[in-house]
Structure 1
Amino acid sequence: MSALRAAVDRLRGELGDYRAVLADREVAERALASMERMCEERVPDLAVLRDALLLVAAAVGSVRVLSPALGELRATVELLGVERERVPEPRPVTR
């Protein structure tokens, strides 16, 4: 989860530094705050995380200067999905 937190922090910082008017800035900031809260969860809900990523991408995806940070966030979310799919379900203990 530290990689997700780092990616969220990077994009939040770069969004904060981007001073031009951005119509959906609040949408992006709320979605990033939601993603940050998910970092506290041991196993975040991947569907909710992806939805938040889509909101962020829709809000800031056209801003070229934010593209590298957005790409890092997207890659991190994708890696979480791959890691989660690789983890086998625990087997029930039989006695």
Structure 2
Amino acid sequence: MEVLLLWVGFAVAVGFLAAKWQRSGFGWFFLACLISPLLAGIFLLIGGDVSDKSPRDETGNRITPDTHVHCPDCRELVRKDARKCKHCQAALVPQN
């Protein structure tokens, strides 16, 4: 009986952690009940936190309106200080 309570308790913990990380708390709770709270917790940790998945450029910096603009020719995002679009090679006027 105690093992069942521990199993469900750890499954609830996995569900709360999943909900905190913007994932389906009930789905992860259910998965933890089915397979194992330990395995579900490991899978959840491998998947990581998805709450901060904002777009980033090739250097790893966040893409924001303060740092990037749309190219007038191809409409791709380029840095504000770029002189040439890296996608279509159109000449740009750097914006500071």
Same fold (TM > 0.5): no
Question: Per residue, is there more helix in 1 or in 2?
Answer: 1
TM-score (normalised: structure 1): 0.29
Question: Per residue, is there more strand in 1 or in 2?
Answer: 2
Choose between structure 1 and 2 for higher RCO, CA contacts under 8 A separated by at least 6 residues: 1
TM-score (normalised: structure 2): 0.29
Which protein has the larger Cα radius of gyration, Structure 1 or Structure 2? 2
